[in-house]
């Protein structure tokens, strides 16, 4: 099993140097499948460490931002090449990631590989970014350039830290910003190792990495006077707090927060095994711990039984267990707190009379019942709209399935949420799909698919309402790390 039983230690990375936290402070991370198994120690940064990281980014900013977009793009391509060059290292970091996080090894390998692709994708924006917008025809000629802001604080959650990092880090860098990255304390070891590779390939201070408790150092980072933009992915509650702290310095923020994504299956939807596999992955990939996962499934009443049967079959094929085992298709949840959120919702639904179906195979019952954070994929059938599993974001392997009669009813119920991150519409009729999509209060709508495997990163990603403000990914995700700078002169002088 390679590194399965080895423990690792990760340090901070500041101004081109790997270093321990002040006073040698660190904290422990344990395996969610076996909570007594120590996986490693991560450095616990202090306020002083945060300040040193931001100061390093501030010093590096003038030289980095002075490079051309093409020069920065070449740095990004070199990073992408390094991230995919050593297969043994990728395997070791992926196995470590599974041990500290819980997700299955297939997903961790995919996440490791996706990060390099994102760097290449963003590098290809260089020429477009370098071209100023030209405005002529009035009393003045105007050039509109996009200017880097300065030090960007990038705060990454525990569920898909490397994929989400790929929606922030290359975008900040290509725009000319320097960065301080803070991974989640619940999933820091493999991300810290990966970030060290990236930072070591760039000039000192361009990428700085700190780890530790958000409650201890989060405000020091977000509220630092030299941080010029904050990009945060996480919960609504913490997002509100980030926005308040950043407001003291009028620091712009991008917030990608929770979601309670609705999927609408119309009466003309076409079903086969692949369709139900897409639905299943849309809801239950990464044990349901994905912000854009399908979390509410609305099905036209005429097709309800077909969908339930198809989803039950897909869920019953799940193999729950240790994510390092190749036969496992669903690992544990990441932490005890999130497990309780999900099991409380399931218990409430069952207590209120809902038809609750826990599915899947558990080959290792001793492991499953041994204190790990496991929960089988669970369907809540004919769920009442008032249940917490419908109203709130479960962020775990539980999916309510409800009937509807008309398109307008489905749209109204889908929009009846404080969230507005993603949604999906399932129909072979493209015109009808788009017409319904235009009425959904969501930042992203998938057609005949749902979730990470139904998007390619070229479109902007973010949400309405409590799902956040601003956008990551796509060209808009790069522009979010810039400010517009207009340069104007008399007509005929510039253009």
Q: What per-residue confidence (pLDDT) applies to 2?
A: 40
Other beta carbons within 10 angstroms of residue 429's beta carbon come to 13
Q: How crowded is the C-beta side of 202, counted as CA atoms within 13 Å?
A: 37
Q: Is the separation of the CB atoms in 121 and 173 below 8 Å?
A: no
Whole-model pTM: value is: 0.96
Q: What per-residue confidence (pLDDT) applies to 4?
A: 52
Q: Please write the tens of the pLDDT for every residue from 424-450.
A: 999 999 999 999 999 999 999 999 999
Report how far residue 195's alpha carbon sits from residue 180's, in angstroms, rounded to the nearest whole number: 11
Q: Is the separation of the CB atoms in 172 and 180 below 8 Å?
A: no
| CA 437 to each of CA 247, 257, 296, 326, 342: distance values in angstroms, whole numbers, following the listed order | 34, 21, 16, 38, 29
> Nearest 5 degrees, angle CA 7-CA 4-CA 33?
95
Q: What per-residue confidence (pLDDT) applies to 114?
A: 85
Active-site entry in 256, 315, 393, 422: 256
Q: Domains of the chain by range and CATH?
A: 8-257+471-484 (3.40.605.10), 261-460 (3.40.309.10)
Report how far residue 179's alpha carbon sits from residue 379's, in angstroms, rounded to the nearest whole number: 42
Q: Are strands 422-426 and 444-447 parallel, antiparallel or unpaired?
A: parallel
Report how far residue 255's alpha carbon sits from residue 155's, in angstroms, rounded to the nearest whole number: 10
User: Does the annotation mark 359 as catalytic?
Assistant: no
Q: Is the separation of the CB atoms in 154 and 221 below 8 Å?
A: no
Report how far residue 251's alpha carbon sits from residue 245's, in angstroms, rounded to the nearest whole number: 9
Report how far residue 46's alpha carbon sits from residue 172's, in angstroms, rounded to the nearest whole number: 24
Q: Is the separation of the CB atoms in 272 and 304 below 8 Å?
A: no
| CA 132 to each of CA 66, 127, 143, 145, 147: distance values in angstroms, whole numbers, following the listed order | 16, 10, 6, 5, 10
Blockwise average pLDDT, block size 10, the chain, 495 residues: 71 98 96 97 98 98 98 98 94 96 96 93 98 94 97 97 97 98 97 98 98 97 98 97 98 97 98 96 98 97 98 98 97 98 98 97 96 98 96 98 98 98 98 98 98 94 98 97 97 94
Q: Please write the tens of the pLDDT for every residue from 18-58.
A: 999 999 999 999 999 999 999 999 999 999 999 999 999 99
Report how far residue 54's alpha carbon sits from residue 178's, in angstroms, rounded to the nearest whole number: 9
Phi then psi dihedrals of residue 190, to 5 deg:
-65, -40
User: Does the annotation mark 270 as catalytic?
Assistant: no
Whether the CA torsion 322, 324, 325, 330 is positive or negative: it is positive
Active-site entry in 291, 315, 359, 422: 291
Nearby residues of 119 by Cβ (< 8 Å), 6 or more positions away: 76, 77, 79, 80, 83, 166, 170
SS3 assignment, position 238: helix
């Amino acid at each position: 099993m390679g590194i399965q039983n080895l423990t690792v230690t990760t340090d901070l990375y500041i101004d081109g140097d790997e270093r321990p936290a002040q006073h040698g402070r660190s904290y422990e991370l344990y395996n969610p499948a076996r909570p007594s198994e120590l996986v490693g120690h991560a450095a616990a940064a202090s306020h002083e460490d945060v300040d040193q990281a931001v100061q390093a980014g501030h010093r590096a900013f003038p030289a980095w931002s002075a490079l051309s977009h093409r020069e920065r793009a070449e740095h990004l391509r070199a990073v992408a090449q390094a991230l995919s060059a050593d297969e043994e290292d990728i395997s070791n970091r992926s196995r470590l990631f599974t041990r500290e996080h819980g997700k299955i090894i297939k997903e961790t390998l995919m996440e490791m590989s996706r990060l390099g692709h994102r760097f290449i994708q963003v590098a290809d924006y260089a020429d477009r970014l370098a071209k100023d917008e030209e405005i002529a025809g009035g009393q003045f000629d105007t050039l509109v350039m996009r200017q880097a802001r300065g030090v960007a604080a990038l705060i990454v959650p525990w569920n898909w830290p490397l994929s989400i990092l790929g929606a922030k880090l290359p975008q900040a860098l290509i725009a000319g910003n320097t960065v301080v990255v803070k991974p989640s304390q619940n999933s820091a070891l493999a991300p810290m190792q990966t970030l060290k590779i990236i930072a070591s390939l760039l000039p000192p201070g361009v990428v700085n990495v700190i780890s530790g408790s958000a409650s201890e150092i989060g405000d020091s980072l977000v509220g630092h006077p030299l941080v010029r933009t904050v990009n945060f992915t996480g919960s609504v509650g913490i997002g509100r707090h980030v926005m308040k702290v950043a407001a003291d310095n009028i620091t712009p923020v991008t917030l990608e927060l929770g979601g309670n994504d609705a999927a609408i299956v119309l009466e003309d939807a076409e079903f086969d095994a692949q369709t139900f596999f897409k639905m299943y992955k849309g809801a239950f990939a990464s044990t349901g711990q994905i912000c854009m996962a399908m979390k509410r499934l609305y099905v036209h009443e005429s097709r309800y039984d077909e969908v339930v049967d198809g989803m039950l079959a897909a869920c019953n094929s799940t193999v729950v267990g240790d994510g390092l085992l190749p036969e496992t298709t669903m690992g544990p949840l990441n932490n005890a707190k999130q497990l309780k959120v999900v099991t409380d919702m399931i218990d409430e639904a069952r207590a209120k009379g809902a038809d609750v179906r826990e599915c899947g195979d558990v080959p290792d019952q001793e492991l499953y019942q041994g204190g790990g954070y496991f929960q089988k994929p669970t369907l809540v059938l004919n769920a009442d709209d008032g249940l917490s599993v419908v109203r709130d974001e479960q962020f775990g392997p539980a999916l309510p399935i409800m009937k509807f009669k008309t398109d307008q009813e489905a749209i109204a119920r889908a929009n009846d949420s404080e969230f507005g991150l993603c949604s999906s519409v399932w129909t072979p009729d493209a015109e009808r799909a788009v017409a319904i999509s235009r009425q959904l209060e969501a930042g992203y709508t998938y057609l005949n698919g749902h979730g990470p495997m139904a998007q390619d990163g070229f479109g902007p990603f973010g949400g309405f309402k409590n799902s956040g403000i601003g956008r990551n990914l796509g060209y808009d995700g790069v522009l979010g790390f810039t400010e517009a700078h207009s340069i104007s002169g008399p007509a005929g002088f510039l253009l």
